[in-house]
Structure 1
Amino acid sequence: MSKYLLDKFLFTVDRDAEWVERYREDPRAAVERWEDEYANRILGCHCDESSTWLRFDQAEREALATHDYPKLFELGAHPFLTLTLFIAMFERDYADEPLGFQSEYARRLAHVTPPYPDIAT
């Protein structure tokens, strides 16, 4: 398991509107494509330098592919990164209520009590 890779996925997808839509519409394909193309790129490197060993494990891949943000939280993904990406994807579905998606996010994570999972990478 790599909390770093989960957070990297959440961070990079959230910063690209095309990737946000791709992930919203076909999450499994988006996760596979991102993993193949971006998982081993070094953040902040504007060259072709990359690593070769980073891959999601099955639990991470499945949680990402099913938009299971409670599971991502349990796996140690940073809650702020998770929340901001999922707001970008789903806030429009809750447009008729103020903070609609944020309320749904809190409801689905209400079962989690301190101590929270460690979010250090």
Structure 2
Amino acid sequence: MSRYLLDKFLFTIDRDPALVERYREDAAATVAWWEEEMANRILNCTSGERSTWLAFTDEERQALVAQDHVTLFRMGAHPFLTLTLFIAMFERDHGPLEYQKAYGKALQHLTLPYPDIAT
């Protein structure tokens, strides 16, 4: 499992409004595309340099496709990255702060120690 790769996915999708919409509309295709095309690109590298070894586990891929922020948090994905991305995707379907409250409520059953989210 790679917290780095989960966080990289959440970060890069959240920074591009077109990718946010793509992930909202077709999560499975977006995750597959991102893993194939983007996962092994080196951040902040303009030369096209790539690594070859990064890939999601089946569990990570399933949680990303399901857009399951609770499972992603349990796996160590940073909660601020999931929150900001999921607000961009789903807040429009709710009233003011309703989505944020539902996000927190879905996590309230978790107790300390939380997964390590150190970066």
What's the CA shift for 1:15?
A: 0.2
Write the mapping of 1:1-121 to structure 2, written as runs, cut at 5 A.
Answer: 1-94=1-94, 97-121=95-119
The amino acid that maps onto 1:52 is T
Distance 1:34 1:61 in 2: 11
CA distance in 2, matches of 1:108, 1:25: 22
Q: CA deviation at 1:98?
A: 2.0
Cα-to-partner distance string for 1:5-50 (whole Å, 9 max, x where unaligned): 0000000000001100000000011000000000000000111101
Residue type of the partner of 2:99? F
Q: Which runs of 5+ in 1 are unaligned?
A: none
**Partner Cα separation in structure 2 for residue 15 and residue 4 of structure 1:** 16
> RMSD value over aligned CA atoms?
0.8
Query: TM-score, normalization: structure 2?
Result: 0.97
Gaps of 5+ in 2: none
Task: Give me the TM-score of the superposition, normalised by structure 1.
Answer: 0.96
